[in-house]
Amino acid sequence: MANEKGSLLLEMTGIDKQFPGVHALQGVDFSLEKGEVCAILGENGAGKSTLMNVLGGVYPMNEGTIKIEGKEVHLRNTKDAEEQGIAFIHQELSLFPQMDIASNIFIQELPNKGGLIDSRKMNKETSAILERVKLGHRKPTEIVGDLKIGEQQLVEIGRTLIRGIKVLILDEPTSSLTNAEIETLFAIVRELKAQGTAVIFITHHMDEIYEICDTLMIMRDGQRIMKCGVHDITRSEVVNQMLGRTAEEQYSHPARHYGKDVLEVKGLTRRGKLNDIHFKVRAGEMVGLYGLLGSGRTEVLRSIFGLDKFHAGEIWYMGEQVHIKNPKEAIDLGIAMVTEDRHKEGLVLEESVRFNMTLANLKSIKSKLFVNRSVEREISEAGVKSLNVKTPTINRAVKYLSGGNQQKVVLSKWLNTDPKLILLDEPTRGIDIGAKHEIYQIVEKLLEKGVAVIMVSSEVPELLGVCDRVVVLKSGEQVCELVNDENLQAGTLLEAAMGGE
C-alpha cells in the first residue's frame, strides 16, 4: 500500500443511505490511498454493496461527502462516477455479447473519422488494451459472447482503462472464474496497484483476501465496524467481527422426531458447478445448505428438482433411486421447491391470490376441460386462512401484497401439492421479522407432519435457529456436515464457508 504523504485518493465521510423501511448505511466513513487494495467484508445485508453503489453513482446518498484527491465530488449517476475515474464492475457484466470486443471497449466514445467510425484506430487501440489485460491472444474483431466468462470480465476491465481509472470496484470478481483466470485477474490488479490505482474487492473468499489485499474493512448492519491491514487481524477475528455478538451465541431449535430417509443424494456432480455432494434428509428433519456466492447451494436444489441436469451421482427418494428429468416429475413424486426469486419464478404477479395458490396442482381444480371455480375458491380461501395471508380478497393481484404475504402465497401453492419433501431457497429473503417468524411456524408444522425440508439460506443465525444439520459448501465442493447441537456456533459455519483455518 502506498504510504507517502499526500497519497490519500478517496474519502467517504458520514455516508447515509435509506430505502423505504431500511436504513442501509448509517454514517459510514471509508478512505483509500493510491495503490491500496482493500477488501470489504460483511454478511448478507451488511451494506457493503450499497456503499459501493453510492460510490459508483448507482444510488444517490441521503447524507455525507465524497472527495477524490481532496476535492469534493457529487456523484449523481454512473456517468459522474466514471468521469471521476471510478469504475464499478458488477457481478452481472454489462457487456454486449453480440458485439465485438473493440465495440464493447469503446462503446461510450467510438473514434470517428469524417463522421464514420474509425475501425482501424479502434482495433489498434483495442489490441493495446487487450495486451494490458492479458488477452493479447484475442483479436479486437472477436465476438464477446464467444469468450469465456473470465475473458469477458477482463474485457470489461479493459473498457475502464481507456478513461483513466483511479478507483476500480470489483463485486465478487472471482465467483465464476477458474484458478488460472483468478491468477490473471490478480496479475492485472497488481499492475494497476503499481500505477497508483486503488482497487476495492467485495468478496467472501478468505484466501484471496490474504493473497491480494493490503487492507480490509468489515461492515455489519449498515455500519463500518473496523478497517485494518490484512496482516493485523486473524481469520477467526475477521469472522467474529463480521458476526458481532452472534459469534458467541449458541442456538437451539424445537425438539423434532425423525422418520425414515426421504432423500439421499450420492456423489452429485455437475461439471463446473458441483462435485461429489452427498447427504441425507429424514422425515420431520430440516437440513440446511450453507455457503457463500458460487458455493453451489442453489444448484443442488435445482438438480434435485429436475431444473438442471447433473453428470454423475444418484438421487434416492423414499428408498428408491429416481431419475427426475423435469419439475413435473418432481412434483408428481411429492417434491416441492420454493425458489429464491419469487417474483420471476414463484409467482405470476399480475394474477390473483386464487390463481397463484392453485397453480402447482391444477389437477385438483380441473373439472374435465374446465377449472372448477368453486373448488379453486375453496382451496385458496383455506390457504389464506391457514397461512394468515393478509389480503382483502382472494381475487387480489399478488403484486399488491407485501413480500411476506407473497411468500406465504408461494408456500400455499406448494402445500396444495401435499409434498413429502420441500426445497426452500432463501425463503425469508426480503421480508420483515414478523413475516419471517410466521414462515418458520408454517415450516415447523410441516416438519411435525413428517415432511422433510432442505433449506438454503445466506443468514447464519437463521440456519442455526431452525436447522437440525447444516451441510457447508464452497466452490461446488462439500466442506463438511455439522450437527446443530448446543456446541455449534455461527463462527464455525462462516469459517468453513470462507476457507478459514
The strand pair at 320-322 and 116-117 is best described as unpaired
- Whole-number pLDDT of residue 242: 82
Find all residues with CB under 8 Å of 446, minimum gap 6, and list them. Answer: 415, 422, 453
pLDDT mean for each 10 residues of the chain (501 residues): 64 91 89 96 80 93 95 92 90 82 82 70 87 88 87 86 88 77 89 93 82 94 93 86 57 78 95 93 96 87 93 95 93 89 78 84 69 79 84 86 82 86 86 71 89 90 88 92 86 82 48
**b/e string for 315-344 if b means 16 or more Cβ within 10 A?**
bebeeeebebeebeebbebbbbbbbbebee
Which residue, chain included where needed, has cell 473470465?
150
- Whole-number pLDDT of residue 4: 46
- Whole-number pLDDT of residue 221: 84
Which residue, chain included where needed, has cell 490478480?
186
Length of the chain: 501
Find all residues with CB under 8 Å of 19, minimum gap 6, and list them. Answer: none
- Whole-number pLDDT of residue 360: 74
Domains of the chain: 8-247 (3.40.50.300), 259-334+419-501 (3.40.50.300), 343-418 (no CATH)
Closest CA to 345 of 292, 447, 414, 297: 414
CB 401 within 8 A of CB 343: no
- Whole-number pLDDT of residue 251: 44
CB 102 within 8 A of CB 96: no
- Whole-number pLDDT of residue 432: 59
pTM (2 d.p.): 0.61
Rounded to 10 deg, the angle between the 490-498 and 235-243 helix axes is 130
- Whole-number pLDDT of residue 3: 44
Closest CA to 58 of 47, 50, 48: 50
Closest CA to 413 of 367, 463, 369, 365: 365
- Whole-number pLDDT of residue 206: 78
